[in-house]
Amino acid sequence: MYENSIIGIEPANLMKEAQKLKDEGYRIVQICANKVNGFELSYSFDREHDMKTLRMIIAEEDEVMSISHIFFPAFLYENEMKDLFGIKITNLVLDFNGNLYKLAQKTPWNPQN
Amino acid sequence: MGKRTIIPFGPQHPVLPEPIHLDLVMEDEVVVEAIPSIGFIHRGLEKLVEIKEFTEYVYVAERICGICSFMHGMGYCQSVEHGMNLTIPRRAEYLRTIWAELSRVHSHLLWLGLLADGFGFESLFMHSWRLREKILDIFEATTGGRVIFSVCKIGGVRRDVSNETLQSIIKTLVDMEAEVKELTDVFINDYTVKSRTVGVGVMSLQEAHDLGAVGPMGRASGLVQDMRLLGYAAYDDLDFAPIVETAGDSYARTVVRIREIFQSIDLIKQAVAKIPDGEVSVPVKDVPRAECFERLEQPRGEVIYYTKGIGTKFLERVRVRTPTFANIPPLLHCLKGCDLADVPILILTIDPCISCTER
């Protein structure tokens, strides 16, 4: 039976937890944002078919440090969150500055932004 | 160091059926860096979940991609079903497995054709697609559709397939095998084909792991990663081991896909031999109240479906991480150091699907 778990973390611990998973041999497989009261961010990692998802809630105005310096492929997911939700992600290895997708409506999941 | 120039590649290019743009930073004829631009065909399909009931959204999921449309519908249904703790009939799981493996055969044949077209071997392209038509005929006979089937639903499948029809599918596949072998021998052995693929775009096992490569892209570098090992649908009943190569070049990626065609035919034979009789769907009497991450192996690699129900007929969130999205960072790596002339073939070897990627 393979693991598929969701683990709640504090936003301040994201980098530490991501580095820990990297050291344990995990790789990033997806990042998902969801508009709740603020944003719910889910970072999923895989190691030999076991999947762990780190889950954290942030306020709309909060900034989130990019984990792309730890997991390079994260830059695409983070740029996507920036474009679609208007989440403030900082320190990306490759920042499209809101231009990853050519959108008719800016940050469609968060129109007020 | 030579003078650096930037060559824009795409979004329109003869080898690209769909738009992706790359800024290729060149030193003479060698690519030193590739910077991607996507987003030309973002359709906002995930957001449609806000106005489509969870039972209707399966039609949207199927339209994410025209090649693996069935497996998008299947991934969405599995995610919702697991979130609802809904057990579907075993026969439905077998039928889903059979259609999924047929989808893999037709997708890989389509890709072989595109690859042949990419290096100008037009007769090889036409023969690949000629064989693919036989799979589309099976889809039409069993589902009524050739591209979008709408046969998956929450709770099972809409149509049963008679055991006689299943046997006729096996006969078609057995007849096809010899033709596929003849076709794929050209990809494996032909000097001109090998000259375009062997040693081109090499990615090591560690790089494939760290860059998040999925599907044949990762398995060609020795990464033993195949979501069918999770045992979803009927895979837990079937004898299955991932196809893995170790060279990590364009040739290895081709060989993995070719071997997977024969493996899929074998899996279909196993499934037809073991499929139980019985119902193909159960009624759905509740609404989703939980979340679920579901992982499936599409022809291009792992797809992740995330669904979150909140006790209404509308889901709060659907998120789809498609294989091509995951394979963009590995592609950027493979492009570094390659010749400009190899760029089109290298892009093809990830089997890109930009409709999937952008949703």
User: How is chain B split into domains, by residue range?
Assistant: 42-326
Could you read off the pLDDT of A48-107 as tens digits, one per residue? 999 999 999 999 889 999 999 999 999 999 999 998 888 999 999 888 887 888 788 888
Six-digit token pair at B351? Answer: 């089997």
Whether residue B212 and residue A73 make contact (CB cut-off 8 A), yes or no, is: yes
Q: Residue A28: CB partners within 8 Å, gap ≥ 6?
A: A43, A44, A45, A67, A71, A73, A74, A77, B212
Q: Does B47 touch chain A (CB under 8 A)?
A: yes
Best B229, B236, B306, B350 member to test A by mutation, with max A CBs in 10 Å, is: B306
Centroid of chain to Cα B159: 23
What's the confidence (pLDDT) of residue A4? 86
Cα radius of gyration (chain A): 14
How much is the mean pLDDT over chain A?
90
Please report the number of interchain residue pairs, chain A to chain B, with beta-carbon separation below 8 angstroms.
Answer: 73
Whether residue A4 and residue B328 make contact (CB cut-off 8 A), yes or no, is: no
For residue B160, the 8-state DSSP code is -
Q: Residue B208: CB partners within 8 Å, gap ≥ 6?
A: B217, B218, B221, B222, B223, B248, B330
What's the confidence (pLDDT) of residue B13? 82
Q: Tens-digit pLDDT profile for chain B (359 aa)?
A: 678 899 998 788 877 778 888 889 999 889 998 888 888 888 888 888 888 999 999 999 999 888 888 999 999 999 999 989 999 999 999 999 999 999 999 999 999 999 999 888 889 999 999 999 999 999 999 998 898 898 999 999 999 999 999 999 999 999 999 999 999 999 999 998 899 899 988 999 999 999 999 999 999 999 999 999 999 999 999 999 999 999 999 999 999 999 999 999 999 999 999 999 999 999 998 999 999 999 999 999 999 999 999 999 999 999 999 999 999 999 999 999 999 989 988 888 888 888 787 78
Q: Which CATH superfamily is domain B42-326 in?
A: Cytochrome-c3 Hydrogenase, chain B (1.10.645.10)
Nearest CA in chain B to A1: B230
- In the block, tokens 């195949």 appear at B226
Kind plus residue range of the DSSP H or E element containing B347: helix B343-348
Chain B residues close to A101, C-beta within 8 Å = 38-39, 42, 358
8 A C-beta contact, residue A34 and residue B308: yes
ipTM above 0.95, yes or no: no
What's the confidence (pLDDT) of residue B49? 85
8 A C-beta contact, residue B267 and residue B320: no
Q: Does B227 touch chain A (CB under 8 A)?
A: yes
What's the confidence (pLDDT) of residue A69? 93
Among A80, A97, A19, A73, CA closest to B327: A73
Domains along the sequence of chain A with CATH:
4-90 (3.30.460.80)
